[in-house]
Structure 1
Amino acid sequence: MDRLRRHSLTMCRSAISRIELGLVVLILALLAGLSLTLVVKVRATAAQTACQNNLKQIALGVLNFHDANNQLPPLTNQGSASHSTDIRSVFATLGPYLECSASTYRPGESVSSYHAPSSVPFTLQNKDGSEYTRFGGDANQVWSAFIDPADTTADGLRDIPVTVPDGTVGYYATVSYAANGLLPWGTLGRTRKLEDWPSGAILFTERPQVCRPEAGDAVFNLWGVGFYSPQMPAFALLTPTEPAGLWSTDKAVPERLLPPIRADHSGEMLVRIGRMEATPQPADFPTPVQLIRSGKSCDPRLPGSPHRGGMQAVTLDWSVRVFAPDTEPWVFWAACTLTREAN
């Protein structure tokens, strides 16, 4: 009898040990899951904060340029008398005001030096007069200030070949942001002071480095492209009718700069695609705000963001607004225009 009792007690203790071990394993698994979730959230928050800082730095460059020149920087020089030698983008124009580049492309220099491939060496000068060698043109450099850490569509690509207006091939690097094509770039301060414009108007927002649509080739967002093209770093921009021969931007733009906003934001949204003379058509997208994550297809006609919380945009007052993925078209497009309703 005593032997049986001892055997039963041993089995009971063994069973209890297995239960305790199971509980410990379960607790450890829960803690690991919570830790992983916390790490993911921390990383996402850090990436979102870094993106906000990038947008603010770019906007600060615009303000610095405006203070020095009493106007917004030009979005493109194409179509002007100097476009054959000056094909800088708005990002390239802002370079000296952002201090993100040690060198600056100047009109009159060899155009090929602006978008040269990475195999071409350039001898440049630091501010202290010392020299150094850099490979590739200005537009073919990857700058951390132009890359959103959460943008996994690319990892700072360069040497992307693009046919430039003179028929040659230039090489460019990617960017995670785009300028608002509905603003009067190059003219703002000539008619009114910057502080007189609505502070809520969007300057820049997010756009993935590489946009892979459901059908067709990938479209690259290239910060140095300063001519009308699907690859230029802008959204809501149409190609003008003059001068003739300019390429389409393939961007979606509302038919009117600010559609009438009804109390319920109802009404059909008509858009033009690519060119100013394009026939208005009903929008085939529910909102211009895209959430692009985990290999999801992308509409290159629109801006887009990898952040779950929504697409970030910096405004004329240097603040950052967040547009949720279900933002109604009327609301977003109104925030892109320089009218009092944009506030």
Structure 2
Amino acid sequence: MTGETNDYVIEQFTLKKKHFKELSELITKAFLKDEAAQKEGASIVFTEETFNIMFGPPSINKQLFVRAKYKPTKEIVGFIGMIPRRLSVEDKEYDFCTPAWLAVHPEHQKQGLAKALGNKLMEIAIKAGYDGAFALHETEQHGKDVSKAIARDNRITLKRLVSINQFVIRVFDTAQLTKVVKIRWYENLFFRLKEKIGSVNNAQIRLFEKEDLPQIIRLMEELVQKCQIALVHDKKDIKWLLQNPQALCVVHEDENQKVDGFIFAWEFLLAGFGNKIPFGWLDIIHTDKLSNKEAKELANFLCKNAQERGWQGLQTPYIPYFLAKPFKKANFIFFPKKMTLDVFEYKEVPFPKEVESFYFNWR
């Protein structure tokens, strides 16, 4: 399936391992040349390992990807992927997807390629039978305007599902962070005061073992049932992710040696101003069954192991399905940052007028 726009061909393709390197480099070039990244840093360098974390899991339909080719050279200059998401809305499940990591080569931007890629992806998603899609937008970036244009072109409703008002960061080495992120002098001082990792004196805390998987799945299923809107995670994907060498998972056991809490993160490269440092993305957090003290120690144990791996810190948008207090006690910093989770409705889905509880992860 192809489309054309001036000197470009927009086409659906089947993603293969051989594409990972080229597409990783394309995404990195696009992200590092972003206007906000040029001013503030805090961008992402995509490696083949990062690309694999995003698009390697078993549930990914490798045929539902779109690229832009520049006809004179046949170079790949644009890309957008799709991540399938099973969505629970007040106990009823729907097939959703996430348009992921839209990127256009800096030398080919402002040619309408971002919108053309999004339109093609929406076309194949609707034909594949998805009920809708959702996307995370930062208010200061161009992505929201592109999404509005795509929705308008396809006569699809784009509605805000929830607003996210905070971002979380845990810094182990402020001097390293300043190489890739522009921070003010008082932020520098505050980060330095929060570098220390607290002690962990709890024999019930340890690293993930493969035998823990059924208990981790159970905890995730319980949280889905508690929330109005939630991602229903694919079990094979969770197994695949937890066993990935880029992943770090720490668990807490109850008195019967059953996992009653865990935190999962994966490694990526935080980049800016010509530099890059290893960092961790906090992906899934389950501490609702733990006391504040237990959750704080589990967070400290995560930090200890992340630092031993050479990560310089951790970060994630804050979705309040877990309590912030124990993480603040573990020197995680919560700061204001406006983001929205928006939904493309391909079919009518009865979302609640006010969302009181929701559960998402960020892979």
**TM-score interval w.r.t. the shorter chain?**
under 0.3
Q: TM-score, normalised by structure 1?
A: 0.28
- Larger RCO (CA within 8 A; separation ≥ 6): 2
- Which structure has the bigger radius of gyration? 1
Which structure's residues are more often strand, by fraction?
Answer: 2
